[in-house]
A and B are shown apart, each in its own frame.
Chain A
Amino acid sequence: MEYIISILAGILFATAIYNLLQKQLLRLVIGSLLLSHGAHLFILTMGELKRGSPPILTDGVEEYADPLPQALILTSIVISFGITSLLLVLAYRTANENNTDNMEQLRGNENE
């Protein structure tokens, strides 16, 4: 199963990057969201999958799933959420100010 999840992470990365390379501003945000999903799954696979119970201490259970990647992913989810929302608002403001959401038209001036 780990290999399948690895492939899934790879597919998520590939689609994320394809979106990131698009011209439309919205696609970039979608791409970054997909990228974070891929990364989270990737981290999860680095631990072992489906070994033991959820990491909540219960009497009589000997084996638990690895809690450390879960803690890392939890942190990461929150951070990527913060970034995604910022990106979205930024995209919205950029598009409003410049009246375009085409990345190819959003280039800096010569002297900036």
Chain B
Amino acid sequence: MIFTVLIPLLIACLIPFVSLYKHRIHTGIFVFFVPFTIFIYFIQFIGTGFEPVRHTYNWIPSLGINFDFHLDGLSLLFALLISGIGSLVVLYSIYYLERNERLGHFYVYLLMFMSAMLGIVLSDNVFVLYTFWELTSISSFLLIGYWHFKEKSRYGALKSMMITIFGGLSMFGGFILLTVITGTASIRAMVANADIIMDNPYMPLALGFILIGAFTKSAQFPFHIWLPDAMEAPTPVSAYLHSATMVKAGIYLIARFSPVFSGFEWFFIIVSIAGILTLCWGSYMAVHQTDLKAILAFSTISQLGMIMAMLGFGTEAAIFAAVFHILNHATFKGSLFMVAGAVDHESGTRDIRKLGGLATLMPISATLALFGTFSMAGIPLPFLNGFYSKELFFGSAIDLGEGTSALASFLIEVIPYLAVLGSIFTFVYSMYFVFGTFWGPKKLDELPKKPHEAPAGMLVAPGILVLGVILIGLFPGAINGTFIAHAAEAVNGEAVAKEIYFWHGWDSTAFQMSLAVLGIGAVLTVTRKKWHGVYQILPGRLSANKVYDWLMAKIDIYSGKITNAYMTGSLRHYMIIILSAILIATTGFMIATGGFTMNFQNLASVTIIEMAVVLVIVAAAVATIFINNNVAAILITGITGYGVALLFIIYRAPDLGLTQLVVETISVALFLLCFYHLPNLKKRQESLTSKTTNGLVSIGFGAMVTLIGISAHSSDWFGTISDYFLETSYSLGGGDNVVNVILVDMRGLDTLFEIAVLGIAALAIYTLIKYRSDKGGR
């Protein structure tokens, strides 16, 4: 089974070599065999005696992350959709994309997407699932931005990326929570341990994270905004990704995890509300669109909402209907996208206001569109599969059982009405789509091209899909027990072989609802222009797109502002920030732990000479601040250095005293040399506030150092190791001067690198002085 996931990736690596010859043979012809073979492979599993198949391949066994592939009914349904519609889309794209396009890129992205999608539906391991999930986001980003020279493509690609990656990361958080709760990364094991998850206090958090992931991917309200903008992709991509497969990944996720969460009432409430709301809003907005693909995009949103709502209902009948509608929606929506693409390809525009009366010019396309839209609208004819699932949807919406909380009971009351409302608008936009394009007055002079029927090859794929619509409509029983029931069983946990049949009788409530949809829908379709003004009021200026754009712009502005607030470019500001951080952290820690101690025992005596030296150093150090004359400042700095040398001598450190004297002398000489060469040497006037800040920071830092010194000296934890140096200096090192023995013998490595430091400093100084580039760089 792993090969079905890997083969598209492997072939994708070979595509660049094949596409070199694209001018003789269209690259898509080679690609076509990949999904087709996979489709043939999966079709052998269909049958009444289907048993789940499982394969495991190690990836990171130490972390429990492995390629666990598990094929059950639900996975099989999705795998067949992905490979089947994938084959048709590739076939369609052979006629849709010209040979002078960058075909190599297109098919590499498409195959990458295909293998990612197969990976999502087949993997049993949540982390592997997440990996493939993000791969679909990335490949979808690449495909939407396929015509990257168009600005709208780039905008749409970025938007879909931002929203789906946001959801993907949130879902990842949910997966991690579930893994921590159950101790396993396997989805089947999680389903088996559903009661452990339900008892855990973090369960709502995990559910929320996973729901955000599913809602963003499946374009549920209010995350639906990326889907209409993703229509900038080439039409085969829209047909494949944004109607049949990727947008159903969220549906798949909910279906996969609904055995875990379905006992939780909020799962029903949130998922049903999101689904029903999306259904109504999407179908309502679809009528408002003027672009064929935008109508289909909002239609996809609303249909996904309908499936999502049924998964939220969670009853046996609803889940069966949801699974059935996944299949039906993929067939008719795929064919409609392809027809829209054909119209665009042959007439040069997708604007429905410019189109009209194409039925006589493109009769085959018109017929295909008629079947697709009628099935989408759910018109009660025995050869349209959309009607069956819509009636099952109504049936499950009426029959929801009892709610335990007031909110749930209220929902159960209103859901049937909302379902009818959404379906009415579905009917309106379906009719608007098909009659607006193919019937009515001809407006040939407004079209960029003179329309004619699409080439036969372009019509094969939608033709096959429409054939699927009709066949499922005519013989729903044929795929019921062998296929749909297994998929529903995977969600439900138990086998449901529900009968699907066309005629439920006049007194069936669901059928009456369908008739109501038909009647009101027909009236609204005819009078569409009269009530169209309502769009000025309801979406009006409200739009989730504006929120998104506003958010993106503000994030840009405010993050820039925050960065500019502390990255001022002034060394002084950085220094103040660093020093204050050290100051606050250290003194805070000292106060918090009671680290300050003071102990007056074991101190050396104070003599007048020392005190005199100390006072001189203090005076000199303080004077460096207040002296304006630079030469004086340099000389006074020298005084502190000589004072320190004196202290070294007083404190029994002859070598230090010697070195300090020499070094200080050279330093002062260097200072003066530099001073001689420096230009415009004026003391800069500081403002009073910056003086105060500087003073506070430096006094605070000095006080901190003093306190640390005093406490460190007062707390005497262990003795010195210097006794060893004193004892062995002569016997091991052969020298009387212990300091020198330490420097060259016991700790000789320090000295080696200190020599290296001096050498590097000397080289650097030499380079600085000698090496000069001209003005304006070398």
Binding site for B on A (CB under 8 A): 1-27, 29-30, 33-34, 37-38, 40-42, 44-58, 64-68, 70-71, 73-75, 77-79, 81-86, 88-93, 95-96, 99-104, 106-108
Judging by beta carbons under 8 Å apart, are A96 and B679 in contact?
Answer: yes
Interface size class of B (residues with CB under 8 A): 35 or more
Judging by beta carbons under 8 Å apart, are B640 and A12 in contact?
Answer: yes
Q: Which of these binds chain A: B163-171, B503-511, B540-548, B723-731?
A: B723-731
> B interface, by DSSP: helix, strand, loop or mixed?
helix
> How many Å lie between the Cα of A101 and that of B571 in the bound state?
13
> How many Å lie between the Cα of A98 and that of B703 in the bound state?
37
B24 contacts the other chain (CB 8 A): no
> How many Å lie between the Cα of A48 and that of B652 in the bound state?
11
Judging by beta carbons under 8 Å apart, are B604 and A2 in contact?
Answer: yes
B634 contacts the other chain (CB 8 A): yes
> How many Å lie between the Cα of A83 and that of B739 in the bound state?
23
Residues of A near B768 (CB, < 8 A) are 86, 89-90, 93
Q: Knowing A18-B694, A37-B641 touch, does A93 contact B709 (C-beta < 8 A)?
A: no
Judging by beta carbons under 8 Å apart, are A70 and B655 in contact?
Answer: yes
Other-chain contact of A67, B621, B659, B722 (Cβ < 8 Å): B722
Residues of A near B651 (CB, < 8 A) are 44, 49-50, 65
Judging by beta carbons under 8 Å apart, are A67 and B572 in contact?
Answer: no
Inter-chain CB contacts under 8 Å: number: 278
B705 contacts the other chain (CB 8 A): yes
Q: Which residue of B lies closest to A52 (CB)?
A: B652
B147 contacts the other chain (CB 8 A): no
Q: Knowing A17-B702, A30-B637, A85-B761 touch, does A56 contact B709 (C-beta < 8 A)?
A: no
Report the minimum CB–CB distance from A46 to chain B (whole Å). 6
Q: Which of these binds chain A: B35-43, B343-351, B750-758?
A: B750-758
Q: Knowing A22-B684, A65-B652 touch, does A6 contact B713 (C-beta < 8 A)?
A: yes
Other-chain contact of A44, B653, B659, B663, B758 (Cβ < 8 Å): B653
Q: Which residue of B lies closest to A48 (CB)?
A: B604
Judging by beta carbons under 8 Å apart, are B702 and A14 in contact?
Answer: yes
Report the minimum CB–CB distance from A17 to chain B (whole Å). 4
Judging by beta carbons under 8 Å apart, are B659 and A78 in contact?
Answer: yes
Q: Knowing A6-B709, A92-B674, A104-B570 touch, does A24 contact B683 (C-beta < 8 A)?
A: yes
Other-chain contact of B710, A6, A33, A79 (Cβ < 8 Å): A6
16 contacts between A and B (CB under 8 A): A1-B605, A1-B606, A2-B604, A2-B710, A8-B617, A10-B702, A10-B706, A19-B624, A26-B678, A33-B667, A38-B705, A40-B644, A56-B737, A56-B738, A85-B765, A90-B768
Q: Among the interface residues A18, A55, A96, which one has the most CB atoms of the partner chain B within 10 A?
A: A55
B660 contacts the other chain (CB 8 A): yes
Judging by beta carbons under 8 Å apart, are B705 and A77 in contact?
Answer: no
B475 contacts the other chain (CB 8 A): no
Judging by beta carbons under 8 Å apart, are A37 and B705 in contact?
Answer: no
B551 contacts the other chain (CB 8 A): no
Residues of A near B750 (CB, < 8 A) are 71, 75
B364 contacts the other chain (CB 8 A): no
Q: Knowing A3-B710, A45-B713, A89-B769 touch, does A74 contact B739 (C-beta < 8 A)?
A: yes
Residues of A near B203 (CB, < 8 A) are none
Q: Knowing A30-B633, A56-B654, A67-B726 touch, does A92 contact B677 (C-beta < 8 A)?
A: yes
Residues of B near A47 (CB, < 8 A) are 720, 722
Residues of B near A49 (CB, < 8 A) are 604, 651
